[in-house]
Chain A
Amino acid sequence: MTTDADNNDPRVSDAYREMAHEETPAELDRKVLAMAAAGARTPRGLPRTWFRPLAWAATIALSFALVLEITQVEDVQLDQAASPRADADLEEIIVESPLPADAVGKQEDEASLQQRLNKRSSDAPAPESASVEMNFAPAEPSLLREAEEQARMRSEAGRAVDSYVETKEQSEGCGKDASASAQTWYECVRALRDSGQTDLAQRELEALLAEFPDFREPPGEQ
């Protein structure tokens, strides 16, 4: 095994030293030193000695802030789970109300109709086709007041639900299939009337007449 020293021959080194004695030209020295001086003047950002501690401090601070944020969010969620929320109230009201979201549509059940009528009773005189509850109300003023109060409470509590129902009703109608011909469209209008959606039926009828101006509603059904 050879060592580094084995590779060196003093005679070769001496001969090389004797031969190689060139020195850097003064002009080159001047250029390089000017370049170094210019380089030292240019800003180079943060000193290296500060860079690493600063990076560590920033990392720790950010990690701490993140952990704190996560902890606070968990606390808030736990608090909300423990105490009733406004949203939960509304959900309970919706659950209490006899109006399942799925049932709102073409076939409103009796409870839905009841709720709608209750709402109207708070805004306008009760229609003749009111529910059974409303039918005996005029005979008993106290019961009527109680019913009105109940209706008002329900109407306030279920305003969001009614709004949703109305929006749903407005968005629904007879659809493209039904409006393909005047006859099918009118049948749809009749179905809407039969189901109690008179407003929507009226709008659909107007649309029908606008689309088919020659269409005449059968006498006796107007």
Chain B
Amino acid sequence: MAANAEIVVVASAGLCTEPALAYAPAMVREPDDRALMLRYQDGDVSAFEVLYRRHKDAIYRYLLRLCGHRDTAEDIFQEVWGKIVNSRSSYRPTAKFTTFLYRVAHNCFIDHLRRNKRHANNTTLEPELHGDPGETLELTTERSLARERLELALKELPDEQRDAFLLSEEGGLSMDQIASVTGCNRETAKSRVRYAVNKLRSAIDEPAESS
């Protein structure tokens, strides 16, 4: 257990494919995403399991925040992984796997929007209260309110800005990768992320300014 504790994997599994090691034992090295996908190409289901567990939560959150609807996000989530499974024979390890994965997810979401023109941003995500037992009620409430404000601000962002921000936060994609996934140029991707971050920052700072 103590040895495991030395390995601090970055909180978001999607942020990077390599584990960040506080103390790095030389022999511990997780296989690369592309290598895992190639192993799955050759019929190794366990490789896919590793790959899936590495990215599933980040993709899920990305779709959840993008759709704002749990059931829809789950449907698209299944569709995304179905496409990954089906594309295993044609997969080429030319680009980073996360870029490939988020491009599929992005396209599935766009397809969903086209199929359901009346897609409304009526989110059904319930704000969850996660307070530490030792926290005071006031602090818990303040945290909860901050989350709600951020959630609301994120929901109110234009689709492109929200998409770019989520790709950056959940997928850990660089600006070039975001541009590649969303089909725009690098500067556009960068400005979308910048606008999104500025708006979210304003939302977080709102109570401090008002007080």
Chain B residue contacts of A24, Cβ below 8 A:
56-57, 60, 77
B-facing residues in A13-64 (Cβ within 8 Å): 13, 15-25, 28-29, 31-33, 35-37, 39-40, 44-45, 47-48
Tell me which of A3-11, A93-101, A127-135, A174-182 binds B: A3-11
Contact of A22 among B57, B169, B175, B193 (CB under 8 A): B57
CB-CB under 8 A for A29 and B150, given A39-B88, A47-B42: no
B49 interfacial by beta-carbon distance below 8 Å:
yes
A7 and B175 contacting across the interface, CB-CB below 8 Å: yes
Q: Is the pair B78, A20 in contact by a Cβ cutoff of 8 Å? A: no
On chain A, the number of residues with a Cβ less than 8 Å from chain B's Cβ atoms is 34
Given contacts A12-B201, A21-B130, A40-B48, contact A31 B78 (CB under 8 A): yes
Bound form: Cα–Cα A11–B147 in Å: 13
For chain B, the count of residues having a C-beta within 8 Å of the partner chain is 45
Known interface pairs A12-B197, A22-B61, A25-B74; A36-B169 also in contact (CB < 8 Å): no
Min C-beta distance of B115 to chain A, whole Å: 20
- Say whether B150 contacts A16, CB under 8 Å: yes
Using Cβ atoms and an 8 Å threshold, which residues of chain A touch B61?
20, 22
Q: How far is the CB of A142 from chain B (nearest CB, A)?
A: 90
Name which residue of chain A comes closest to B40, CB basis.
A40
Question: Which of B17-25, B27-35, B79-87, B102-110 touches A?
Answer: B79-87
**Bound Cα distance from A13 to B193, whole angstroms:** 12
Q: A7-B197, A24-B77, A40-B45 are in contact. List 13 more A-B contacts (CB 8 A).
A: A7-B190, A16-B154, A19-B151, A20-B170, A22-B64, A23-B60, A24-B56, A24-B60, A32-B77, A32-B81, A33-B48, A39-B85, A48-B41
